[in-house]
């Protein structure tokens, strides 16, 4: 089940909200836990056991760490081995076997295990929990239902943001419910739904058209690169908006995950604005424990390379993701080595970041390294492609309004205009009709369209 679907919008969510708000406070976490299991089991019934098992292991290890100072480190190692082991088995085993086969000429059989949706997200949440318990940052959760609700919470279960236990620990036990919270959450959810259904899915169609093109051209390759760069932003930030909105409806305050990343003046700044919860997770649980930048220069470079290689691998079990991560490591090291870049005019710095990010997403979206090579060759005119074709002109004209709208939408301009208009009494009165209208438009798209999962589901 996905947020941008008729069953979720008009059956699952209303039913869960009705039961949730009718039941006494002490039963609300149980409702969320059961609803989350149903939500996950709807699409992954055979792998629901894996999540339940993971919840059980990390819950028990957290309790054990709270009760035994002597064996605290041992329980941390046990839980980390289970979490990383399961993630490695289901997500990376075939990748490593294939790599070994390619490098050695062996023919080791692949495991061909199905990838559990969202395993990277809920495993990282569990790992951050046990590390924080080990550090003494948070006390262990003694209520298994509350801990299960934290891990399996359906608003952010599938594609984040990665919510740390310490961020919601208090709200798991006591949170505020109000019409104001519900209204703010609903508004944020509709914004995210609109990003996904109206903008991202139509951009995805242009990406698909490029892949199926009978008349590829250099201009069409650049059009594809721009379209996917916008597509992944509106797809993932739309999901994050929906997750944050849903969390607010149930009384939770999830962290922001995006802050207009395409306005960045450096790659360093870009990663402070893009997928914020993942970047901060790697910073606090990998980079800083390795010594961060308070080590020798050689070790600091090692830390950067290792963190970004892991960041790439987190996104997918393929070499293009590893190279994608290493590309950002190289760009970040370059920015540190060339402080003069910060003194360039703003337009040059923004242009450099947008070009670097756009090219990185071409690598990111390739199914294989061979396809990535073909995509880059097309961008730079190799392979005898024409500069422009009639097909390119047709799609450029057809999608120009959407591309312009999404370029504007990737800036704070619309938010600022909406804020100014929101001060008008008449606009305040009509605002519910605007949100209802957007919901109806999204519904029409969903009824008339095809299934379009979120891009980050595969991670």
Q: What is the mean pLDDT of the chain?
A: 91
**C-alpha to C-alpha distance for 399 and 138, rounded to whole angstroms:** 50
pLDDT tens track for 159-170: 778 999 999 999
DSSP-assigned letters across all residues of 181-237: HHHHHHHHHHHHHHIIIIIIHHHHHHHHHHHT-SS--HHHHHHHHHHHHHHHHHHHH
Whether the predicted pLDDT of 451 surpasses 60 = no
% of the chain beyond a pLDDT of 90: 75
% of the chain beyond a pLDDT of 70: 97
Whether the predicted pLDDT of 459 surpasses 60 = no
What is the reported pLDDT for 342? 84
71 flagged as catalytic? no
Mean pLDDT for the stretch of residues 329-344? 90
434's tokens: 């605007």
Mean pLDDT for the stretch of residues 283-300? 94
Whether the predicted pLDDT of 229 surpasses 90 = yes
57's tokens: 């292991």
pTM of the model: 0.93
**C-alpha to C-alpha distance for 119 and 85, rounded to whole angstroms:** 12
DSSP-assigned letters across all residues of 264-277: -SSHHHHHHHSSHH
**C-alpha to C-alpha distance for 13 and 35, rounded to whole angstroms:** 9
Is-contact 241 188, C-beta < 8 A? yes
pLDDT tens track for 35-90: 999 999 987 788 899 999 999 999 999 999 988 888 899 999 999 999 999 999 99
130's tokens: 């046990």
Q: Which of 71, 177, 253, 315 is catalytic?
A: 315
């Amino acid at each position: 089940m996905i947020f941008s679907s008729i069953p979720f919008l008009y059956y699952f969510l209303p039913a869960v909200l009705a039961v949730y708000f009718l039941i006494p406070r002490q039963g609300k976490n149980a409702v969320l836990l059961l609803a989350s299991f149903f939500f996950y089991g709807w699409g992954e019934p055979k792998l629901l056991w894996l999540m339940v098992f993971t919840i059980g292991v990390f819950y028990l290890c957290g309790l054990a760490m709270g009760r035994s100072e002597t064996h605290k480190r041992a329980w941390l190692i046990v839980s980390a081995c289970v979490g990383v082991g399961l993630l490695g088995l289901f997500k990376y085993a075939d990748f490593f076997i294939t790599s070994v086969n390619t490098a050695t000429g062996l023919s080791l059989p692949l495991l061909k295990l199905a990838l559990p949706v969202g395993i990277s997200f809920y495993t990282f949440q569990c790992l951050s929990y046990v590390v924080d318990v080990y550090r003494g940052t948070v006390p262990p959760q003694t209520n298994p239902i509350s801990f299960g609700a934290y891990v399996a919470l359906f608003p952010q279960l599938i594609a984040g943001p990665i919510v740390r236990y310490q961020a919601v620990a208090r709200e798991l036990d006591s949170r505020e419910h109000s019409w104001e919270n519900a209204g703010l959450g609903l508004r944020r959810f509709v914004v995210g739904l609109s990003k996904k259904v109206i903008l991202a899915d139509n951009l995805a169609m242009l990406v698909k058209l490029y892949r199926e093109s009978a008349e590829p051209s250099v201009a069409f390759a650049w059009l594809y690169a721009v379209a996917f760069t916008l597509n992944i932003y509106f797809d993932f930030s739309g999901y994050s908006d929906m997750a944050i909105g849903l969390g607010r409806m149930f009384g939770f305050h999830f962290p922001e995950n995006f802050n207009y990343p395409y306005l960045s003046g450096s790659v360093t700044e870009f990663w402070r604005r893009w997928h914020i919860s993942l970047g901060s997770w790697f910073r606090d649980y990998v980079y800083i424990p390795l010594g961060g930048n308070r080590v020798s220069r050689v070790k600091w470079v090692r830390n950067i390379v290792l963190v970004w290689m892991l960041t790439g691998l987190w996104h997918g079990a393929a070499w293009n993701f590893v190279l994608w991560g290493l590309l950002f490591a190289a760009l970040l090291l370059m920015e540190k080595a060339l402080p003069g870049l910060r003194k360039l005019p703003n337009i040059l710095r923004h242009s450099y970041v947008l070009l670097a990010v756009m090219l990185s997403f071409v690598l990111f979206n390739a199914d294989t390294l061979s396809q990535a090579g073909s995509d880059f060759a097309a961008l730079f005119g190799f392979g005898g492609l024409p500069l422009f074709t009639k097909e390119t002109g047709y799609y450029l004209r057809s999608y120009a309004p959407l591309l312009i709208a999404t370029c504007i939408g990737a800036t704070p301009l619309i938010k600022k205009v909406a804020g100014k208009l929101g001060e008008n009494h008449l606009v305040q009165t009509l605002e519910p009709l605007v949100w209802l209208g957007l919901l109806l438009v999204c519904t029409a798209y969903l009824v008339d369209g095809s299934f379009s999962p979120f891009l980050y589901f595969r991670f």
